[in-house]
Amino acid sequence: MLYSEILRHFAVDQSRSRIGDRLMCHTARRDKLIGPCQRDACRAILQVGVLLLFVGSSALRGDEPAPIKVLVERDVPAPMRDGVVLRANVFRPDSGGPYPVLVMRTPYGKSGSGMARYVKAGYIVVTQDARGRFASDGKWESFVRAKTHDAEDGYDTVEWAARLPGSNGQVGTFGGSYNAFLQWRLAPLRPPSLVAMSAYSIPARYQDLEGPGTIRPGRRLHWWIVAMTPDMRRRENRQGTTARAAAQKKWSAGDSKKWLTFAPYLKLPREVFEDETAAVHYWLKNPHTDPWALHEGVKNVTVPNLNVIGWWDHCNGHMLLDRTMRTEAATKTARDGSRTIIGPWAHGGLGRRRYGNIDFGPEAAFDIAAYEIRWFDYWIKGKPNGIDKTAPYRIFIMGDNRWRDEADWPLERAVEKVLYLTSDGKANTPNGDGRLIQEKPSSDGADWYSYDPENPVPSLHGPRLFQIPTDQRPLARRKDILVYQTAPLTERIEVTGYPTVELHASSSAPDTDFFARLVDVAPDGMGRDVSLGMVRARYRNGVDKPSLIKPGEVVRYMIRMNPTSNAFKLGHRIRLDITSSDFPNYDRNHNTAADQNADAQLKKAKQTIHHGQPHTTRVVLPWIP
């Protein structure tokens, strides 16, 4: 696949379904819609300001004697300590109680699709627009800011929810991604009514989200342009697109081409970031700063958390939060009670079993909502449902396509398995002579390729721009990817943990990138990516210690790859791909000494990977015997 195909590949519709005020009935998986509520009944009830939602497929079929009714109150005001009013939708059972309350705070709009299932389980559910978003007052402050009102707003909202009519005073919080970020902001303040959390799919550090001194433009620019700034313009009566659906339509019709190839980022027009432009620019100019550092607040967290995440989630930096919770949280309940479930999923696709032609089997289909309800039933309602008996970590082993319980992460029993890169000098493409061997090469060797930022290796992650498991065969003809692989395996090899690559490389450029991708190659030649890691040369010693490289000089790089668990089966091959781009999953390195966020010049670079004596390059796999 050539770079010219990237824009076509990423210009298709990436929108999530924005259901808005239409409440839909759900099956066991809350993200799988089975049909709208009865139209006439909803219309009649909306006229009096109260919505009765008939839920459950059996109720719709008429098998039950009476439908379950959910009352919905819209735009309920919640005053914050500084007088700013935030607004929420409140979903509650039409009778009985008192009930515990589940709170979701979000910047994406509080429509509340799928909340009826939680109400059916015996909860009042609150979905609230974050400060400065949609119906809530105040000014929105994005997560690139080190100081926001998110913590205090979260605390005040939890205590407000505990006092709602029909509440029993006990509150849980839930939601993923940005909604999880908002939970981790409030939890260290210890609101007295908070009992448990389900905050998932958010990394501990902002640098874990974007990469070491890098930006992930495919996801990040789409997020700003489609999900965030339209409502900012609507609130300020500014010109331009003011609705997400319209922004998505423009993106799909051609805006993606304009924005994904724009350089440099510091010259992006104000319409991309609107009022957050200054905050974004500060971070671009100071990549060593971290506006999040969520793990630093864990020592003050007193309640247990449920994290559900995927091996391909670009937010899998959450693993640091999980480990920190188990060792540093403020209470034994929080330390011992927190749980982590890691499946073969991507961001926004938790519970899926298929990605394109890749099928992880029936066990991968996981009912997130059902598990969340079970989680809160134990911690808030005190139901003896066995949550306390589950393992701290439950991981999905790809290849075997099964679940396994673990007591720790990374696994203490993992053993380092070292494979060395070698070739006869022609490792380009899977048809080359690159090999992974167990013995250290006795003589020097090298392979080279040309990296052209005008024609980068395209990401294969699909139209939503989330990192997902992919078949690597569309890239097989590219000469700018070096490929090293084992002979067909004679035994199963399980890799669980963080693979690392010790890379010796030289470049004709003063700064560049190197990517390492671990691939599971089936006997039919299909190569499924397993893990990815990258390094930006100037930040090889850390984003707080930038240092250019000397062109032509051999430099040692350590690349820590994403966490994974994969069983390489009998007859499969273990493969390592080395290249210098993955665009637009990551931004292109311009191969210059300039600040590429401020300078648009692009240059080609000759990249040489050294292996053998004295510069061995190797991949270290966390092998589970």
From 78, 80, 89, select the one nearest 118 (Cα to Cα). 89
From 555, 6, 562, 624, select the one nearest 259 (Cα to Cα). 6
Cα–chain center distance at 242: 26
Active site residue 15: no
Strand, coil or helix: what is 227? helix
b/e map 309-337, b = 16+ CB within 10 Å = bbbbbbbbbbbbbbbbbbeebbeeebbeb
372: left (phi over 0), alpha (psi -120 to 50) or beta: alpha
Select which of 156, 208, 231, 313 is catalytic.
313
Residue 527, number of CB atoms within 10 A of its CB: 23
Q: Are strands 194-200 and 167-176 parallel, antiparallel or unpaired?
A: parallel
Six-digit token pair at 232? 């900012």
Residue 558 backbone phi and psi in degrees, to 5: -110, 120
Q: Which helix (H) or strand (E) holds 218?
A: helix 217-222
R_g over Cα of the chain: 25
Strand, coil or helix: what is 459? coil
Select which of 347, 504, 590, 615 is catalytic.
347
Q: How far is CA 100 from CA 95, 285, 459, 538, in A?
A: 14, 45, 44, 51
Q: Are strands 618-623 and 500-507 parallel, antiparallel or unpaired?
A: antiparallel
DSSP state of 562: P
Active site residue 347: yes
Strand, coil or helix: what is 533? strand
CB-count exposure of residue 39 (10 Å: 0-12, 13-18, 19+): exposed
H helices present in 343-492, as ranges: 368-379
Select which of 136, 177, 338, 580 is catalytic.
177
Six-digit token pair at 355? 């990605």
Distance CA 603, CA 600 (A): 10
Q: Which residues, including other chains, have CB under 8 Å from residue 258's CB and lie 6 or more apart? A: none
Distance CA 93, CA 115 (A): 11
Q: Are strands 339-343 and 99-106 parallel, antiparallel or unpaired?
A: unpaired
Note if the bond before 410 is cis, omega within 30 degrees.
yes
Question: Going along 537-599, which residue ranges are E strands?
Answer: 555-560, 564-568, 573-579
From 499, 223, 177, 568, select the one nearest 350 (Cα to Cα). 177
Q: What angle do CA 354, 358, 359 make, to 5 degrees?
A: 50
DSSP state of 297: G
Distance CA 352, CA 32 (A): 11
Distance CA 476, CA 421 (A): 19
Active site residue 177: yes
Residue 273 backbone phi and psi in degrees, to 5: -115, -10
Q: How far is CA 212 from CA 286, 506, 539, 585, in A?
A: 12, 20, 7, 14
Which residues participate in catalysis according to the annotation?
Answer: 177, 313, 347
